[in-house]
Amino acid sequence: MASANSVTEQKSAKGGSPALMLTLATIGFAVNFWAWALLSPLGSQFAEKLSLSAFQVSAFVAVPVIVGSLGRIPVGALTDKYGGRIMFPVVSVLTIIPVLFLGFLGQDSYASLIIGGFFLGIGGTVFAVGVPYVNNWYPPEKRGTAIGIFGVGMGGTAISALTTVHLVKAGGSAFPFIICAIALAIYAVVAWLLLRDAPGRVAPTSTLGERLGKTVKLGTTWQACALYATLFGGYVAFSVYLPTYLQTDYSLTAADAANRMAGFVILAVIMRPVGGFLSDKLGPIVVLTACLIAVVAGALGQATIPPLMPLSTICFLVMAAALGAGSGATFALVAKVAPAEMVGSVTGVVGAAGGLGGFVPPLLMGAIYGATGSYSIGFVLLAIVAGLVLLFLLTKIRSVYVATTGEAVKA
């Protein structure tokens, strides 16, 4: 493991510094997540243009989520092998292709939206590049904070929410896709020129299949999956489906709904490094416990369909803060208990679980609304799932954490 002295040596050995590498990684995360979220703010417009049902809208905005999630498994393992210096620009360049396809060719039929959204999922795999990359640059006692700061890059979804509809109005349906493609291209060049892998990083010699096999046998992997599927999955689900929900239940305009979703995302983004920092100070178990309790409370409150101001807004802000902080705390937990040489592979699987956790709820919410005319059951289900994960955290995960780290849990 790296020490404080080795971090200093990294700067002179590779011509880079941990702070610069963290900054570049965070920017790359944000730009690729901006691309990953381009379809969500346009859901209602495509629904009107192509006469789509609520379930069809849920499906095409969720497709990038599931592809970006499952793709994290091989991308995380490839990052262990080749390093972030190679993988960041590769993922960014590949993401340009579906972005331009959707801008110029993919908006005239439901099938083309599905195809474009499928390959747009490549952008979502960048998370599995950044976590092991940042992890290698920082000593154990600072990894929670560092990975939390990297997690700010998930605010790329807020960029999409705040700009996409306005850019369409200003320059036409292809305009936001063109701007995003340019940003991806610029980042890919900058990353290729400036990124450096941490000195002392040892590339594994085993095959991809062997590494993934070892990863799925780790109990830590599946425990973190349960946490991340609930916490980051909840964040992804709301960032994808919240505009549709707000327009349906509260009759907001597309622009107003997108702006409110952006507020949800921004708060979650701000709280992610806070969750990592608090995990370094208090321990991840304490932080995760508080976050899951808050999710249960917020979901049960929203299940009553309260007035938008102030009660519904409070419920969503509580959930945003808890989901963001909990996502940061989950990877602070991974950094403490996963073997150093397997962080990329573990991150890939856990990141996939988080994305899959975000894929299912939009489809479920669309189906529930279609069957009942209400979203209340969906929020009750969220509260139940968060409560069960909380019970798992306080029993099995807590005992494994104490046995692995030797740290006493403070609460």
Check residue 6 and give its pLDDT.
41
Question: Tokens representing 51?
Answer: 């006469």
Q: Are 360 and 212 in contact (CB under 8 A)?
A: no
The confidence score (pLDDT) of residue 411 equals: 54
pLDDT of residue 355: 76
Residues 133, 79 contacting (CB under 8 angstroms): yes
Question: 237, 379, 390, 400: which is closest to 299 by C-alpha?
Answer: 379
Across the chain, which has 411 residues, the per-10-residue mean pLDDT values are 40 66 96 92 85 80 84 88 94 97 92 94 92 87 85 85 89 95 98 92 78 84 92 84 86 84 87 91 94 96 92 94 94 82 81 80 80 88 95 92 76 54
Q: What is the pLDDT of residue 151?
A: 84
**pLDDT of res. 323:** 95
DSSP 174: T
Q: Are 275 and 333 in contact (CB under 8 A)?
A: no
CA 72 – CA 237 distance, rounded (Å): 17
pLDDT of 248 = 86
Query: Buried b vs exposed e over 248-272: b needs ≥16 C-beta within 10 Å?
Result: bbeebebeebbbbbbbbbbbbbebb
pLDDT value for 13? 40
Phi-psi region of 253 (alpha: psi -120 to 50; beta: other; left: phi over 0): beta
Tokens of 325: 């902080």
Reading phi first (left if > 0) and then psi (alpha if -120 to 50, else beta), residue 51 is in left
What local confidence, expressed as pLDDT, does residue 181 receive?
Answer: 97
pLDDT for the residue 10? 42
**CA angle, residues 285, 289, 291, in degrees to nearest 5:** 120
Gyration radius of the chain's alpha carbons: 20
Domains, the chain, ordered by start: 4-405 (1.20.1250.20)
Q: How far apart are CA 264 and CA 178, in angstroms?
A: 26
The residue to which tokens 């092991």 are assigned: 132
| pLDDT at residue 56, as a whole number | 84
- 10 Å CB burial of residue 127 (0-12, 13-18, 19+) is buried
Q: What's the confidence (pLDDT) of residue 174?
A: 95
